[in-house]
Amino acid sequence: MWMNQAPIVGCVYYFLLIISYCKVNGQQAPAYSTEKWGNATHRTNVCERQRMVLNGTLSIDDALAGLELSTITINYRNFFENQYFTLNSDGVIDSESPGLFGGVMDELAERAGFSWRDSFTAVLPPDPKVDINKTWADLLVWGVDKFDVSVEYWMKSSGRMALGVHFPEGYIDSSIVLVGPKVVKKSVFNPWRLFYPFHYTVWILIGVAILYTGFVYWILEKINHRSNRDTKDAISGSIYSASMAFLGHNELTPDSHSARLVTWSWNFWAMLIGASYIANMANVLVAQQVALNNIQGVEDAIDANLPICVLAGTLTDDILTHDFSNAILIRESSEGSIFESLEKNDCAYAAIPLNVWEINERSSKMNVDCKIERKGAAYKIIQSGIALKVDSGEFCSSLISHVL
């Protein structure tokens, strides 16, 4: 009889092994079908454990041991954002690449002794077209109110903490940085650049001065009757010689003392104008180069009245809106659309978290031909990580925060 049942027992054994293998390798699907913005609460009541910790009968290191914590995260579907977390085509956590958030939660669960893979849900990022008047801050507050742990790169701020959100030690650098197109030096021939050092009115005055000086020089030479020049060409010759003096080559050869005084004065003036021209030309060339590279941060871009793309409803959006009333902010619905807008020149620069830039800096699909680069230092230093509810009475969720 037992011999006849052996194949059945063997099949059941291998079936259990397969299930166990899938569990270990992360083939779990979301356990909750909670509708985003719904009212259902999945938080775990840990008040009894909190009392045990307070009276010394339970170590805080073991306070979460054996618990199954409800977790909410973001199901990213874009090719560059799914490095954080995404469900595969079968709707489960990928066994080989659970994403950054999956890896962090696995590490925390192993250290604290809790589980989460059978009690999580993954919702889509806020979409302005679907989630009307809802922001990332709203998703943060709703998530920690309905689940034990909200896993995302939540950026810590005093405003969010005032809403009852606790942020354990951050594990991602989400400092606000400015990125934009690289400065490409183009050598374009422009003959009019020779006249840039002086205003056009100065060039007119120089021309008048050349004509006047040539005429005065010719008059003085004629009055003294010492000119050996042909009367027919004397005026034009004097004007020509005066213009050559302006170019640094003196051809005026006065015979009278008065003409010599005019010649000396004219050459001294020409020397000063020539030196000013050279100095101004150098300044023009340097100023043009500086103008191409003077945007070295968020403040420079805002001072220059340049449009800046931000992710709508995020802490970056809130901070720049609060700090700069004159900022021209173009609010995009996703990180991908921000880089697309940079590519299309819909915005001059983008203000994004540092971790977003580091992930996408070398992406050939996102930073096409490496045309985008970081500009200057971070505007504000911010750490980000998971978030939980501040609660010491109803569910005592603050205990989870203290353990993590």
> What is the DSSP code string of 24-79?
HTT-PPPS--PPTT---------HHHHHHHHTTSS-GGGTTTT-B--EEEE---ST
pLDDT for residue 255 is more than 80: no
DSSP-derived secondary structure letter, 313 = T
Say whether pLDDT at 345 is over 80: yes
Q: What are phi and psi of 77, to 5 degrees?
A: -120, -10
Phi, psi of 388 (to 5 degrees): -140, 170
Distance CA 194, CA 148 (A): 69
- pLDDT band of 188, cuts 50, 70, 90: low
Residue 187 has a pLDDT of 53
- Residue 115 DSSP one-character state: B
pLDDT at residue 26 greater than cutoff 80: no
Q: Find how far residue 278's CA is from the centre of its chain.
A: 40
Instruction: Give the distance, in angstroms, between the CA of residue 44 and the centroid of all CA atoms in the same chain.
Output: 38
**Residue indicated by tokens 């009968």:** 57
Q: What is the mean pLDDT of residues 232-239?
A: 66
Please give the pLDDT value at position 354: 92
Q: What is the pLDDT of residue 289?
A: 53
> What confidence score (pLDDT) does residue 190 get?
66
Structure tokens at 390: 């501040």
Q: What DSSP character marks residue 206?
A: H
Inter-residue contact 148 to 43 (CB < 8 Å): yes
pLDDT of residue 242: 72
H or E, element range at 350: strand 349-353
Q: What is residue 132's predicted lDDT score, i.e. its pLDDT?
A: 82
pLDDT recorded at residue 283: 72
Higher per-residue confidence, 9 vs 113: 113
The larger pLDDT score, comparing residue 120 to residue 98, is at: 120
pLDDT of residue 324 exceeding 60? yes
For residues 191-204, give the mean pLDDT: 77
The percentage of the chain sitting over the pLDDT mark of 90, rounded to a whole number, equals 29
Q: Are 65 and 108 in contact (CB under 8 A)?
A: no
Q: How far apart are alpha carbons 303 and 153 in whole angstroms? A: 29
The whole-number average pLDDT for the span 347-357 is: 91
The answer, yes or no, to whether residue 209 has pLDDT greater than 60, is yes
Residue 202 pLDDT exceeds 70? yes
On the 0-12 / 13-18 / 19+ scale of CB atoms within 10 A, 27 is middle
In angstroms, the Cα distances linking 60 to 54, 142, 151, 402, 403 are 9, 27, 22, 8, 6
> Mean pLDDT, to the nearest integer, of 136-147?
92
Q: Can you tell me the mean pLDDT for 291-296?
A: 66
pLDDT given for residue 14 in this prediction: 36
* Model pLDDT, residue 181: 87
* Span 158-185, average pLDDT: 87
The upper half-sphere exposure of residue 30, i.e. CA atoms within 13 Å in the direction of its Cβ, equals 18
Structure tokens at 208: 């008048």
And the tokens for 136?
A: 């990332």
Check residues 79 and 294 and name the one with the higher pLDDT: 294
Residue 224: burial class (beta carbons within 10 Å; 0-12, 13-18, 19+): middle
Which one has a higher pLDDT value, 198 or 190?
A: 198
- The C-alpha atoms of residue 203 and residue 276 are separated, in whole angstroms, by 13
**Pairwise CA distance, residues 152 & 154, whole Å:** 5
Residue 20 pLDDT exceeds 50: no
Q: What angle do CA 246, 249, 252 make, to 5 degrees?
A: 85
Paired sense of beta strands 329-332 and 176-181, if any = unpaired
Give the strand pairing for 172-173 and 383-389: antiparallel
* Average pLDDT along the chain: 80
Most confident stretch, 78-82, 346-350, 366-370:
346-350
Task: Name which of 335, 297, 295, 339 is nearest 317 in CA terms.
Answer: 335
pLDDT of 171 reads 86
Give 26 or 324, the one with higher predicted confidence: 324
Question: Is the pLDDT score of 136 beyond 50?
Answer: yes
102 within 8 A of 95, measured Cβ to Cβ: no
**Pairwise CA distance, residues 52 & 88, whole Å:** 40
